[in-house]
Amino acid sequence: MLRFFGRGSAFREDQNCAYFVQDHRLILMDCAMYGFHEVKKTGLLGFGEEIREITILVTHTHGDHTGGIPMLIHYAFYVLHVPVTVIAPSEEVREDLKYLLERLEGCAPAGYRLFSAEELMKAVDRADGVDDSDPELPACPWLVRPILTQHAPELSGRCFGYQLTLDGKNVIYTGDSNTLEPFLPYLTEGSVLYTETASMESPVHFPVKKLLELETYFKEKNIQVYLMHLDDEEAIMKQVEGTGFLPAPLAGDEKQGEKDMQNNNMQDNNMQEKDVQESGKILTNIFDISDKLYREMCSNKENDHATLFAYLTELGRTMTDSDRASFWKWDRRKKQLWTTSATGVDRIVIPDNTGLVGKALMEKRVVVTNDPYNDPNFNSAVDKKTGYVTKSVLVMPVANIYGDFIGAFQIINKNGDGGFDEVEDVRKLSLAALICGIALESETFLEDSHHDKLTKQKNRMGFYSDFARKYSKLLEAGRPISMYISDIDKFKRVNDTYGHNAGDVVLSTVAETMAAACTENDCVYRWGGEEFIMIMTDTTLEQCIEKAEKIRETIQQTPCDAEGTIINVTMSFGCRQFDKEMSIEDNISIADGFLYIAKESGRNRVIYKEPEA
């Protein structure tokens, strides 16, 4: 956990300066001039292990937080011969610090490195701790994120706190702030909060009076609160007496350390008990849903991945204690995102570059918003239509075994007031998302095997699969199904004259024309070579003939542009309404006979019956 050289405000001698040690590195949370003197006085051997590097994590650029940084850089470079890394919370603050260190203080460029937290976030999750794009990027596994907050008006947009992971715990460090609102969404169960606190009310600091209003909230969430940047420590500690709030622990304060240990042990015991209860509920949900899924798969019903997605979506919703959940599939072929399963919502289809799901997939990361109506990527159209109120959203991308994202798990409206926590809720959602990803990957493989790579339309395998799963049942129910089989006229001449690349362009153009003519009742299949079949459900022979004629005319009037070479083609068609008493092959054979007649009688025509004698 953090220790402090001092926990006083700007005008006290013991100015606020926190630190921790990890992997032979001394990490300072800001560095006031008082902090520099304490590091110099303590000496690097006084931190319990050999210090080989110093890192300074900056919250903002006020002098009582940055005044000691230049002196420490000079001292570390010329005397200690230890490298210094300075981390700014944002690119703007990085530029401010660069100006300060280079121009005002003249720090030797060889004496330090300056990064922004945005750069370092790239390295946090890597196994080797280094981002491939920049081998010099230092690993900071304890850094979770900077958190923008409010302080003095002149630092609007430039004042931050931090979320850290220390000793296995979630740690929130506010820096200087006049509010705790930005930090509350990240205060998960059992967190540790280091917050600035003032006895006097002012527009730039957080008063103890407001802190006391959150006492019940902190107790319910088992959050340990430490107080820092104190303007009047005696007055503040008197006001918080009996709350469990503690002054930030000073370096070498063993009594405080014993208190911390006792308090942490109590927290750990409580957390262990709650974890056991929560784990029991999660296991019960997993067993219940696994049992339902097993029974469903062993039944004589027709099953597909939709059943699996539905059960796992419900599991994800339950495990994250959310109101709604949906699993989204990324259809790269159509550049669409659509829900394969949803709780309380009908199927929705959106472009793949829109919405929070689109953002998560495009940016390849988890997206969390606990204020969706102020998020430009949130689409509120569904809420306006249904009257539903969305308060929080978490989107978790799902990848295949190659690391390519293929879908996303979305959960909506976390129960309670805190909203979603990116770390904890993703951990709970990971099992359901992993299994959905495996199922979706196998479904995607199957889908790819049913499609022709050149024309992007379904192939013969897809045709027989659809017939077995869908069309045969419609025929048995007495619903009319019609089809045509078509062929590009004199296609061999196209290949011989213009080359096979041009022939591919012609095939793709024809397929796109047919696909564009499809309604929700129609589907195009590349039967082989230059032959295509269209199946039309709930369609009479007369309607099939009419559609074939329109497509024939469109293709005749649509030139194919093969790298600047314009090629005009025509097509011949044979139409047939399916007879359910005949096999698939026999029905197709009759339509193919009509196609043969069309080719032999002049091409570029639609035939649906034998010619009269």
Q: How confident is the model at residue 278 (pLDDT cuts 50, 70, 90)?
A: low
The pLDDT value recorded for residue 268 is 57
> In this structure, are residues 399 and 405 in contact, taking their beta carbons and an 8 Å threshold?
yes
Within its chain, how far is the Cα of 467 from the centroid? 37
Query: CA neighbours within 13 Å on the CB side: how many for 20?
Result: 16
**pTM of the full predicted structure?**
0.45
| Token pair recorded at residue 259 | 């208190």
Sheet holding 84-88, edge to edge: 3-6, 17-22, 25-29, 53-57, 84-88, 112-116
| Token pair recorded at residue 125 | 């999750």
Averaged pLDDT of the chain: 86
Axis-axis angle for helices 254-298, 305-319 (nearest 10): 150
Poorest-confidence range of 83-87, 185-189, 346-350?
346-350
pLDDT tens-digit readout, 411-438:
899 887 678 988 888 888 887 777 777 7
Please report which residue ranges of 169-231 form alpha helices under DSSP H.
208-212, 215-220
The pLDDT value recorded for residue 259 is 53
Q: Which amino acid is at 366?
A: V
- Judged by DSSP in three states, 99 sits in helix
The pLDDT value recorded for residue 269 is 63
Task: Assess whether pLDDT exceeds 80 at residue 287.
Answer: no
- Judged by DSSP in three states, 81 sits in coil
Task: Assess whether pLDDT exceeds 90 at residue 492.
Answer: yes
Q: How confident is the model at residue 399 (pLDDT cuts 50, 70, 90)?
A: confident
Q: What is the DSSP string of 5-47?
A: EE-B-TTSSSB-EEEEEETTEEEEES--HHHHHHHHHH-GGGG
Q: What is the DSSP string of 534-598?
A: EEEET--HHHHHHHHHHHHHHHHT--EEETTEEE---EEEEEEE--TTS-HHHHHHHHHHHHHHH
- Select the more confidently predicted residue: 309 or 107: 107
What does each C-alpha distance from 214 to 149, 218, 371, 459 come to in angstroms?
A: 18, 6, 21, 63
The pLDDT value recorded for residue 132 is 46
Q: Which residue, chain included where needed, has tokens 């820092």?
A: 228
